[in-house]
Amino acid sequence: MKSANLTTIFTLRLGFALLAASSPVSMAQASQATFKPGLPWPDTDGVHINAHGFCIVPHAGKYYWYGSHKIAGLTESQKNEAGVRCYVSSDLLNWTNAGLVLDVSAPGMNPEVAAAGILDRPKVIFNAATKQFMMYFKLYPPKARGGATRTDVAYTGTAVSTTPTGPFEYKGRFLGGGTDKGSGDFAIFQDADGAAYHICVRKPDKMLVCGRLSEDGWKPAGAYVPMQGVEKATEAPALFRHAGKYYLLGSGSSGWAPNAARMFVADHLTGPYQSLGNPCHGVNPHNQLGPEMTFGGQSTFVFPVPDGEAQFIAMFDINKADDPINSGYIWLPLEFSENKPAIQWRSEWNTSVFENQ
């Protein structure tokens, strides 16, 4: 992202905010000029963003935030997802609710989705060749919560739209990981050659594995390969490429509770990976949690800032299993220090931090 554009955006927004303050017309929500990790994040209607296990997709000058919509009053041990919600922004700070783009209760919805036990961690990519927005999500069969099947089998669901704000049409599901139990947390990674890969936690052994997707992207194209060097039970994978290397940010495995983040690097997507340890530094003053608990968060995505060189934002959920609709977010710059990614806590920041890189 070029600094001139950002300065213009921020100047315009500041001017707008000052104008609004002196105007008798009240605004739903004053515009935001900084990221405030760990604090509630109001959308442009003033409502805390409800899109968890999320990803960000840049498209035609706008940004799209896709995440699972948690239903008010339900806990994570109940069926608590209404589908996938999308928000739109032009500056990554101020987000407008674009509605449920995949609604599990939509008339005629396939029972695989309508009756799903869990539908979370949606990831969307844009396929430039077909001009399709392709959505993938963790899809547990009915009764996955507290029922006979529990969470020992999980599919990867898929859905498609020709516009970023949907509605997305359910395309079907596959068992990833190369086993008959499927996979849990995952990332979808588009490599430089356009090929898409499904990187997932294989069930039941929790090995992180990588499978190339078919040319049309809707199913695995062959065998899954273990990501050598990545510690077993690494969840919440988020991959990015920088200077010819592949980086993997992930978490440990402790349900909805936080644990320490971990970072790996490799010359090839499938590895072998080398551990770079925990990239987090500092303490979140809102909960007093530091690197040992990833500031209270769990990774979900690393966003390469468009047009930026070595500009990445590390993105985390703050899971609240008893009150998921109020689960929070942590976005922090991911910077390279001595060739290693570092994620330093900041209570308030904006993308001008990238200007000196």
Give the residues lining the site for ligand DGJ (CB under 6 A): 53, 121, 185, 235-236, 255-256, 298
| Residue among 186, 184, 110 nearest 154 (CA) | 184
Q: Are 74 and 89 in contact (CB under 8 A)?
A: no
Q: Are 151 and 142 in contact (CB under 8 A)?
A: no
Query: For residues 91 and 235, which CB has a smaller minimum distance to ligand DGJ in the complex?
Result: 235
Q: How far is the CB of 75 from ligand DGJ (least distance, A)?
A: 12
Q: Are 357 and 12 in contact (CB under 8 A)?
A: no
Q: How far is the CB of 107 from ligand DGJ (least distance, A)?
A: 28
Q: How far is the CB of 4 from ligand DGJ (least distance, A)?
A: 38
Structure tokens at 231: 């510690």
Task: List 158's β-bridge partners, or say none.
Answer: 136, 172
Query: For residues 201 and 343, which CB has a smaller minimum distance to ligand DGJ in the complex?
Result: 201
Query: For residues 98 and 233, which CB has a smaller minimum distance to ligand DGJ in the complex?
Result: 233
Query: For residues 121 and 171, which CB has a smaller minimum distance to ligand DGJ in the complex?
Result: 121
Dist. CA 15–CA 341, nearest whole Å? 35
Q: How far is the CB of 237 from ligand DGJ (least distance, A)?
A: 9
Q: How far is the CB of 139 from ligand DGJ (least distance, A)?
A: 12
Dist. CA 332–CA 347, nearest whole Å? 9
Q: How far is the CB of 255 from ligand DGJ (least distance, A)?
A: 4
348: Cα within 13 Å, side-chain hemisphere: 3
Helix (H) or strand (E) holding 245: strand 245-251
Q: Are 39 and 64 in contact (CB under 8 A)?
A: no
Query: For residues 88 and 200, which CB has a smaller minimum distance to ligand DGJ in the complex?
Result: 200
Question: Please, which residues have CB within 8 angstroms of residue 106's CB and are 6 or more apart in sequence?
Answer: 83, 167
The amino acid that residue 288 corresponds to is Q
> CA dist 133 to 125, 205, 224, 301, 316, Å?
6, 31, 24, 17, 23
Query: For residues 164 and 297, which CB has a smaller minimum distance to ligand DGJ in the complex?
Result: 297
Q: How far is the CB of 294 from ligand DGJ (least distance, A)?
A: 12
Query: For residues 113 and 208, which CB has a smaller minimum distance to ligand DGJ in the complex?
Result: 208
